Structure 1
């Protein structure tokens, strides 16, 4: 069993950790759970309704998108210290892609229910977290918009 301090240390090592003070990291860690997946295991499938985001502690995760002909294509491989799942976390829509463990993977998971508890108990931390999510989604949208412009030429 991992202690809150262990989880806080793992979260502190993610790219998000740098945006929060140590007391904030420890507060967030109280609401996270640790999950392990073996290589090739499905973390979630496109179209599923699951409301959580995950931070990769160890291993890599492939994000796959299903095409109209039911073929899956790797969109991106995510490395340790990064995160995924924030879109369904925010909009409560079905997963827009699948996530599969490329290696043995350890994730820190934050459910929407636990995030709501952070909102109630630590509103300033919750605002910082939402700003991080908004910034990440904005950056991805800008990249996508840039790719669309290049494909139209």
Structure 2
């Protein structure tokens, strides 16, 4: 598969560009820049100018709110076909968060001017962008709800349920999650510490709710894990 073919397939798999015709996708692919990042390498920092849209073509990305003390809160994790950096292109403000690679990652980069031109001429793209922004707002609302109303064990269980539903929406048992996350990453997703997450994961293993294997985590029973989150 050539690079252009790979870029077209990646674009076609993104909800932002899935409505484009093949000829449009090939034209768009020709204007993309390919960037590669090592594990933990920063893609852009909070406060940087918003000059491009990134589309994940391989690997995984975390979107992070950093603190002045060096801690971080992970507010989103992204996989192939997901996009990020769109907010700054819409309102022209600096980057609202930091993006970093969770593992060896490649993104396809669309410059701001090219994105704005597409947005002006493609009503379907505007609709897809609005749908994506609404979905992100709903997801973040749910995240705030979990932080306020669930204890740490509940937040961990619910985060695993959400990751499983993103991976295999229809599955209820034995959902295998590819696992680029460290325990520190998981702690940063739920507002805990690495030590507390390690203890809670061990408890979930003991209860038969999850299995941990090299580079993967298996959700044994999503319904039971959901009930565990709601205790």
129, 140, 144: which is aligned to 1:144?
A: 140
Residue in 2 that maps onto 1:59? 59
* SS, match of residue 19 in structure 1: coil
Q: What pairs with 1:20-39 in structure 2 (closer than 5 Å)?
A: 20-39=20-39
Are positions 1:7 and 2:7 aligned together? yes
Deviates more, 1:67-76 or 1:45-54: 67-76
CA RMSD of aligned residues (A): 2.6
Residue in 2 that maps onto 1:86? 86
Contact kept in structure 2, 1:31 and 1:118, CA below 8 Å: no
* Deviation of 1:84 (Å): 0.9
**TM-score of the superposed pair, with normalisation by structure 1:** 0.80
Higher relative contact order (CA 8 A, sep 6+): 1
Contact kept in structure 2, 1:63 and 1:75, CA below 8 Å: yes
**TM-score of the superposed pair, with normalisation by structure 2:** 0.55
Structure 1 pair 130/17, CA: closer, same or farther in 2 (3 Å)?
A: closer
Residue in 2 that maps onto 1:131? 127
* SS, match of residue 40 in structure 2: coil
Contact kept in structure 2, 1:55 and 1:108, CA below 8 Å: yes
Residue in 1 that maps onto 2:208? none
Structure 1 unaligned regions, length at least 5: none
Contact kept in structure 1, 2:53 and 2:111, CA below 8 Å: yes
* Deviation of 1:56 (Å): 0.4
* Deviation of 1:31 (Å): 2.6
Residue in 2 that maps onto 1:114? 114
Aligned positions, number: 148
Cα distance in 2 for partners of 1:63, 1:4 equals 27
Cα distance in 2 for partners of 1:7, 1:146 equals 33
Cα distance in 2 for partners of 1:119, 1:63 equals 24
